A and B are shown apart, each in its own frame.
Chain A
Amino acid sequence: MMTSTRAKTATTGDRNVSTPNPGSNRTEGRKDPWSQLLDKVGKQQDREAYRALFQHFAPQIKYYAMANGLAGQAEELVQEVFVSIWRRSCLYDWRKAAASTWIFTIARNQRIDMLRKMQRSRAEMTVDTEDLWQIPGDDENEPVTSLHRLMSERRIRDSLKHLPEEQITVIAKVYMENKSHQIVADELNIPLGTVKSRVRLALNKLKVILQDQNA
């Protein structure tokens, strides 16, 4: 179900990041177009910006739902995610996350929430989905982290192009089809150790692992 996807280049455009732009101030220039749009939604409830985000991200979220066995609820997930984007946009801070990363985490949390509501026994859980899955912390006072966050998406997009197909297949199954390492191993008919080593190699290249003695 996973088509290979490496070739598609960034439509989110990092043009502003690399192009010298003497007219505008430097920090503005670090914002990618989607983050600028999301910023406008948050600050001014700009509906045109919101529509542009919808046109770009709604098909991604719908595909994500379908790849996750939520085909019947795919449109509903798109709606839930976008209502959430609208309501939370005032909390969005482009210095902390690119819009696409921020939207990905909302889509992930809404998917978990939807699955939970579909399973009766889990629906009675006392702990909120957000409480478990939302990244805590407010690292405004950690400028290194902020910059690191801003750069990471761009760097990942670039390095992903250079990963071997077999590594992309594995991490894509983990992320897009939400399969555990064990299930990916069963599906691809390879040992769990092989899945783990492919993940490890990929994360190394993507520089997710900095110094990880346990990995």
Chain B
Amino acid sequence: MTQHHPDSHSLMEFSAGNLSDPHALCIRLHLDECPHCRSRVDTLDSLGAVLMDEQPGAGVADDAFDRLMSRIDAGTPEPQPKPAPRGNPLQRLLGEDLNLLPWKRQLADVSVLDISHLFPGQPEKVVLQKLAAGGKAPAHTHRGLETTIVLQGAFTDHKGVFNQWDFVVLDEHDEHRPVALEGDDCITLSVLSAPLKLTGTFTRLLNPFIR
């Protein structure tokens, strides 16, 4: 059971459909595993429905319904349930086992994989990061907002323990030094609105954030 949830502003932006694709993906991955937030988004969707109903409305063309019916009659009219797709949306993009991806090792404990190209036309940087089980990441702060979801394993920093599907948003005020828990390698998905800067001694780190 996840302990760290997206705040209600993010859930509202999700429900309203206002998020960029990478941000929506982070929320969606969390919702997949969090009944608590699913129920909040359901309520928010109802809010959207009520607001839509409260609008004045705009008259549609006279022949709109007839056009609709002829389109339905011409097409495949049999409503058919789609089979539920396997895995989560990220696994459908990248394959089932994230450990097998072509990771780029940066430090003894740290590997990264930039997947921004999967989201063409979006301004954010989208990065997978892997911290070896028990490994330490260099201390760093964040320039701009960084939204992170834990996909595998767990890490801890001064703010607490972040387990699988936990959701965390960091900004330039958050300096932290994540340490992966023992057991599995910790894999996270991060969406960065701006490059991150290093504060420790690892200034030469070849890292997608400072490229």
Q: Residues of A at under 8 Å CB distance from B?
A: 3, 5-6, 8, 10-12, 42, 45, 47, 51, 54-55, 58-64, 66-67, 74-75, 78-79, 82-83, 86-91, 97-98, 100-101, 103-105, 107-109, 111-112, 119-122, 124-128, 131-133, 135-137, 139, 142, 145, 148-149, 152-153, 156-157, 160, 171-172, 174-176, 178-181, 196, 199-200, 203, 206-210, 212, 214-215
Number of B residues, CB within 8 Å of A: 64
Residues B50 and A157 in contact, CB atoms below 8 Å apart? yes
Min CB–CB distance B35 → chain A (angstroms): 7
Distance from B198 Cβ to chain A, minimum over Cβ atoms (Å): 26
For A78, the chain B residues whose CB sits under 8 A away are 60, 64
Partner of A60, one of B25, B42, B57, B75: B57
B 140-162 contacts with A by CB, 8 A: none
A139 to B85, CA, bound (A): 17
| B58 lies within 8 A of A132 (CB) | no
Q: Is the interface of B mostly helix, strand, loop or mixed?
A: helix
Residues of B within 8 A of A (CB): 5-9, 12-18, 21, 24-25, 28, 31-32, 35, 38-61, 64-65, 67-69, 71-72, 75, 77, 79-81, 85, 89, 92-93, 118-122
The answer to whether A8 touches B54 (Cβ under 8 A) is yes
Least Cβ distance of A21 to chain B in Å? 23
Residue of B9, B12, B40, B56 touching A5 (CB-CB under 8 A):
B56
CA distance A103 to B147 in the complex (A): 30
Residues on A with C-beta less than 8 A from B45 are 97, 101, 104-105, 135
A5 to chain B, nearest CB (A): 4
The secondary structure that dominates the A interface is helix
Enumerate chain B residues within 8 angstroms of A214, measured Cβ to Cβ.
Answer: 5-8
Residue with the greatest number of chain A CB neighbours at <10 A, chosen from B18, B38, B67, B92: B18
